[in-house]
């Protein structure tokens, strides 16, 4: 570092300690935000499934309503159930992923809390030994 000449070794150690503390805090923030991004991505995916499902259902009804031919009836009979199926499968995937994300979120323990738990355990061990 080019500032080494201007700082005493004690100051450099203090700066390094502060940087390590800030780096740990930033890591915890990144982890929490990653969980939120995952949750939002799951919701966006569900909305994409719904958009596709509704488009197919509307296309099926529109074909049947406007053309009223035998082919449009058959296409409507294919598009509408396909749209319903895609919507249903999208909902099932959404619920499954949401439950998975919830379990991971509940299992996540930030480093600060983990450190406090470890210190408390050590303190308990010292009490029991004494």
User: Residue 84 corresponds to which tokens in the numbers above?
Assistant: 């319903």
**Residue 61 and residue 11: Cα distance in Å, rounded?**
74
Q: What is the DSSP string of 72-104?
A: HHHHHHHHHHHHHHHHHHHHHHHHHHHHHHHHH
**Residue 6 and residue 17: Cα distance in Å, rounded?**
18
Determine if the pTM surpasses 0.85. no
Say if residues 74 and 111 touch (Cβ distance below 8 Å).
no
> What are the pLDDT digits (tens) for 61-111?
999 999 989 999 999 999 999 999 999 999 999 999 999 999 988 887 776
> What are the pLDDT digits (tens) for 1-57?
455 556 788 888 888 888 887 777 777 788 888 889 999 999 999 999 999 999 999
């Amino acid at each position: 570092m080019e500032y080494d000449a201007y700082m005493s070794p004690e100051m450099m150690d203090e700066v390094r300690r502060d940087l390590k503390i800030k780096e740990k805090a930033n890591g915890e923030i990144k982890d929490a935000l990653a969980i939120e991004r995952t949750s939002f991505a799951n919701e966006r995916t569900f909305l994409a499934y719904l958009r596709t499902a509704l488009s197919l259902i509307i296309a099926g009804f529109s074909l049947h309503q406007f053309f009223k031919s035998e082919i449009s009836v058959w296409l409507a009979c294919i598009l509408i159930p396909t749209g319903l199926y895609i919507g249903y499968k999208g909902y099932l995937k959404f619920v499954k992923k949401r439950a998975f994300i919830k379990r991971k979120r509940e299992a996540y323990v930030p480093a600060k809390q983990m450190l406090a738990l470890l210190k408390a355990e050590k303190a308990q061990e010292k009490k029991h030994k004494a």
